Structure 1
Amino acid sequence: MPRVDVNIMGQAYSMLCADGEERALREAAIYLDSKMKAIRDAGKVKGNDRIAVLAALGVAAEFLSVKSPQGPLSELSILEVKQKIAAMHTVLDTALTPQENLF
């Protein structure tokens, strides 16, 4: 298994992948890095864990809308999906804020 080194939000990661999947893994890392940096640069979200969760939700929403035209997001516009993600962000903020005080 080949080892692939990627960088996401300034953090280096080294991981194994199946033969022939190196390029896809690098492209996925670049895509995730761009999504996370866009969220960070918007200035509304602090903490890499929150940024990662929001980026994951956004990527999952994109994936589900492409994967299944009749899926849970098929009837929603991009604006509505963004509004749902913003609502999830509010819920995550509420849930994670008390935990920040523990550290």
Structure 2
Amino acid sequence: MKQLTIRLLDREMKVAVPEDQSDSLLQAARNLDARLRELRDGNKVAGLERIALLVALDLSHELLLQQGGQVQNAELSHRLQRMQEKIDATLASNRQLELN
């Protein structure tokens, strides 16, 4: 484990992270800091706790939308695979009929 110092809204925090994940955690911290600042500066939202909760809600919502899209993509891939199998079976059946 590696200890990193991250900065969110001008507040420093020390966090432990596996060494192979430190770069992605730093990127996540930069992204989160940018979103926190955007909400704080753009909307007169009072209180750090409220800002953090609103950003957490927004991120959670985005994650659910992405996961929903992944589920839809998986379902679409499965349907396409079944269609391809049916097409292959039909073509094989037609070839067999042509040979007879």
Report if TM-score (shorter chain) is over 0.5: yes
Percent of aligned positions with the same letter in both sequences? 28
Q: Does 1:37 align with 2:40?
A: no
Q: What is the alpha-carbon distance in structure 2 between the residues aligned to residue 2 and residue 38 of structure 1?
A: 29
Which runs of no fewer than 5 residues in structure 1 stay unpaired? 72-103
Q: What is the alpha-carbon distance in structure 1 between the residues aligned to residue 66 and residue 52 of structure 2?
A: 21
Q: What residue number does 1:25 align with? A: 25
How many residue pairs get aligned? The number is 71
Q: What is the alpha-carbon distance in structure 1 between the residues aligned to residue 28 and residue 59 of structure 2?
A: 10
Q: What is the alpha-carbon distance in structure 1 between the residues aligned to residue 2 and residue 37 of structure 2?
A: 27
Q: What is the alpha-carbon distance in structure 2 between the residues aligned to residue 20 and residue 67 of structure 1?
A: 24
- Backbone CA RMSD of aligned residues: 1.5
SS of residue matched to 1:5? strand
Q: 1:67: how far off?
A: 1.6
Q: 1:4: how far off?
A: 1.0
Q: What residue number does 2:6 align with? A: 6
- Offset from partner CA, 1:48-92 (integer Å, 9 cap, x none): 000000000111111111122278xxxxxxxxxxxxxxxxxxxxx
TM-score, normalised relative to structure 2: 0.66
Q: 1:29: how far off?
A: 0.5
Q: What residue number does 2:58 align with? A: 58
